[in-house]
Structures are given as C-alpha cells and as structure tokens.
C-alpha cells in the first residue's frame, strides 16, 4: 500500500491567525490562572491575617487575664500581709502599752515609797536631834550628879581625915 501524497496548502496569514488565536487562548488561560492564583493567595493571606489577628487577640486576652489574675493574687497577698502586720502591730502596741502601764504603776509605787521613806528619814532625823539634845542633858545631869557625888565623897573623906574618926 502506497500512499498518495496529499498536498495541503495553507496561507501564511491563516497560520499566523491560528498561532495568534492559540497564543491568545494560552494568554487568557494564563491570566485566568494568574488571577485565580492571586485571588487564592490574597484569600489565604487575608485568612492568615485574620487567624493571626484572632490568635494575637486571644493571646492578648489570655495575657491580660493572666496579668489581672496575677495582680489580684498579688493584691490579695499584700492585703493579707498588711492585715497580719496591722494585727501584729496592734498586739505589739497593746503589749507595750500594758508594759508601760506596769512600769508607770511601779514608778508611782516607788515614788510613794520614796516619799514615805523620806518622811520616815525626816522623823528619824528629828528623833536623832531630840536624842542628841536629851543625851546632852542626861550627860550634863550625870556630870552634875557625878560632881555632887565626888564632892560629897571628898567632903566625907575630908571629915574623916580631919576628924580622924571613922
């Protein structure tokens, strides 16, 4: 079998039109695919941006919640510490006041005792002065009695010696 040659005649214009047509189709497909790809990329970028913003907002809320919780816990702890400090300070003040009251009472008692001792010392001093005065009087009285006794003895001895008789 032999084939007979077929002659095909094309015009150059016709071929160029077909090539242009095919290039236009390829260009349209490329533009369509590029537009679709750009839209898809933009959609994905928008979705990523929304998701990132949502995650960031969630993260920000979580941090704010954690910070608020931390702040409340810290404030609660500080309030408890302040309350304990106030209680201990009040207790210390009461105990200190009680001790100072005891010290003041003891000091008052000592001052009263000192006044009593001073009064007693004054009366003892007066008694000593009186004793000194009465001792001097007693001593002079004794000296007077002694002089009288010695004088009487001398008179008796003198009579004995002068009279010669006992």
The pLDDT of residue 129 is: 80
Give the C-alpha separation, 140 to 108, whole Å: 47
The pLDDT of residue 166 is: 55
Q: What is the DSSP code string of 89-150? A: HHHHHHHHHHHHHHHHHHHHHHHHHHHHHHHHHHHHHHHHHHHHHHHHHHHHHHHHHHHHHH
pLDDT at 162 over 90: no
pLDDT tens digits, one per residue of 60-114 = 999 999 999 999 999 999 999 999 999 999 999 999 999 999 999 998 998 888 8
What are the boundaries of each domain within the chain?
A: 12-129
The pLDDT of residue 4 is: 79
Mean pLDDT of 138-149: 86
Q: What is the pTM of this model?
A: 0.43
Most distant CA pair in the chain, distance: 225
């Amino acid at each position: 079998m032999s084939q007979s040659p077929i002659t095909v005649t094309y015009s150059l214009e016709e071929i160029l039109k077909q090539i242009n047509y095919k290039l236009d189709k390829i260009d349209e497909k490329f533009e369509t695919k590029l537009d679709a790809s750009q839209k898809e990329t933009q959609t994905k970028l928008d979705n990523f941006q929304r998701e990132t913003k949502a995650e960031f907002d969630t993260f920000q809320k979580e941090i704010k919640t954690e910070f608020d919780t931390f702040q409340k816990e810290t404030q609660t702890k500080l309030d408890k510490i302040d309350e304990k400090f106030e209680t201990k300070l009040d207790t210390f003040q009461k105990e200190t006041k009680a001790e100072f009251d005891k010290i003041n009472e003891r000091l008052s008692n000592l001052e009263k005792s000192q006044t009593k001792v001073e009064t007693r010392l004054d009366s003892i001093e007066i008694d000593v002065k009186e004793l000194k005065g009465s001792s001097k009087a007693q001593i002079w009285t004794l000296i007077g009695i002694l002089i009288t006794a010695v004088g009487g003895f001398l008179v008796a001895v003198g009579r004995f010696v002068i009279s010669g008789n006992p």
